């Protein structure tokens, strides 16, 4: 929630404006909960309300895992890295299904586009992040972190991997330059056009938590070597790190224009994916 406020404040600052007050996301969500729900007839009610609920739940669990690994190592079991990435990727699929249930014209088109984007960017995100796990030789978060503690934090040897993971994260969170499904000017709000009230609030919450979880995951994999986690300064440093990443996200979204769907796809397949594969191969050799 607070991160979302940071993001809106930063984009406002870039544009030379004073951003919204800190409690703004809170006020938005409460107000949305209090609003009446209207759904176009012809969408089955259960399905339409189930979707935002499940997507919020999945993202929340992913968040717990990540923060769990932050706090102490017992929480993270062997394969939690894969589980987290899967949980994080689920909401975008549900986002697409949400579009299909509310049978508005804009929702369907928005849904198709988010599906296209989903395929290309989830893969990228997974491949780039797996670079770190290959290097550290273990699929669990704590494993990655412990491998980094003695050696250099992964940011330095794997800068390319980090940049690719960042691109994947932007694609996944559908932030500008990749926010085509939610493109304000063409698709109104894409799949969310028909949602209102409580359901919209849930979608909003999923978006907030997804951003934090993604950033935390990145911070976890790439920066964790510098501090040991449990002491108070450790948490402070990790917060600063996450704010830094958030700053980078807002900066990128402020600079680039929204790419067209075909540019986005071929940019990804022709440029990002081969690069990340090559990068992983490099790590294996090293």
Least Å distance, CB 13 to another protein, is 10
Least Å distance, CB 154 to another protein, is 29
Q: Is the dihedral of CA 210, 127, 113, 89 positive or negative?
A: negative
Q: Answer whether 274's CB lies under 8 Å from 34's CB.
A: no
- Whether residue 177 is preceded by a cis peptide bond, meaning omega within 30 degrees of 0, is yes
Q: Answer whether 144's CB lies under 8 Å from 81's CB.
A: yes
Site of interaction with another protein (CB under 8 A): 8, 11-12, 14-21, 23-24, 26-31, 33-38, 105-106, 108-109, 176-177, 179-180, 183-186, 188-189, 192-197, 200, 254-263
Decide whether 180 or 212 has the Cβ nearer to another protein.
Answer: 180
Half-sphere exposure of 89 (CA within 13 A, CB side): 18
Decide whether 11 or 140 has the Cβ nearer to another protein.
Answer: 11
At 128, phi and psi to the nearest 5?
-65, -45
Q: Answer whether 130's CB lies under 8 Å from 79's CB.
A: no
Q: How far is CA 19 from the centre of its chain?
A: 22
Alpha-carbon span 172 to 216, nearest angstrom = 14
Least Å distance, CB 43 to another protein, is 13
Least Å distance, CB 205 to another protein, is 14
Decide whether 23 or 230 has the Cβ nearer to another protein.
Answer: 23
Least Å distance, CB 11 to another protein, is 8
Least Å distance, CB 4 to another protein, is 13
Alpha-carbon span 191 to 91, nearest angstrom = 13
Decide whether 251 or 281 has the Cβ nearer to another protein.
Answer: 251
Decide whether 23 or 86 has the Cβ nearer to another protein.
Answer: 23
Alpha-carbon span 279 to 274, nearest angstrom = 8
Alpha-carbon span 232 to 49, nearest angstrom = 40
Decide whether 23 or 47 has the Cβ nearer to another protein.
Answer: 23
């Amino acid at each position: 929630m607070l991160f979302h406020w940071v993001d809106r404040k930063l984009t406002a600052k870039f544009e030379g404006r004073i951003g919204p007050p800190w409690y703004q996301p809170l006020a938005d969500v409460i107000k949305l909960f209090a609003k009446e729900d209207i759904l176009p007839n012809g969408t089955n009610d259960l399905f339409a309300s189930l979707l935002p609920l499940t997507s919020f739940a999945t993202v929340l669990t992913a968040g717990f895992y990540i923060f769990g690994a932050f706090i102490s190592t017992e929480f993270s079991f062997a394969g939690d890295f894969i589980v987290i990435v899967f949980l994080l990727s689920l909401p975008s699929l549900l986002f697409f299904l949400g579009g299909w249930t509310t049978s508005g014209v804009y929702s369907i088109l928005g849904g198709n586009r988010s599906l296209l984007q989903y395929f290309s960017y989830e893969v990228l995100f997974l491949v780039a992040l797996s670079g770190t796990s290959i290097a550290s030789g273990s699929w669990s978060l704590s494993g990655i972190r412990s491998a980094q503690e003695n050696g250099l934090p992964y940011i330095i040897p794997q800068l390319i991997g980090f940049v690719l993971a960042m691109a994947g994260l932007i694609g996944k969170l559908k932030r500008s330059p990749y926010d085509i499904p939610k493109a304000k000017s063409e698709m109104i709000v894409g799949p969310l056009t028909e949602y209102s009230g409580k359901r919209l609030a849930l979608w909003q919450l999923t978006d907030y938590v997804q951003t934090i979880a993604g950033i935390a995951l990145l911070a976890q994999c790439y920066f964790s070597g510098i501090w040991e986690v449990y002491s108070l300064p450790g948490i402070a440093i990790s917060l600063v790190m996450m704010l830094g990443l958030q700053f980078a996200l807002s900066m990128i979204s402020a600079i680039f224009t929204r790419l067209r769907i075909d540019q986005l796809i071929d940019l990804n397949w022709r440029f990002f994916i081969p690069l990340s594969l090559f990068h992983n191969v490099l790590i294996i050799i090293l």
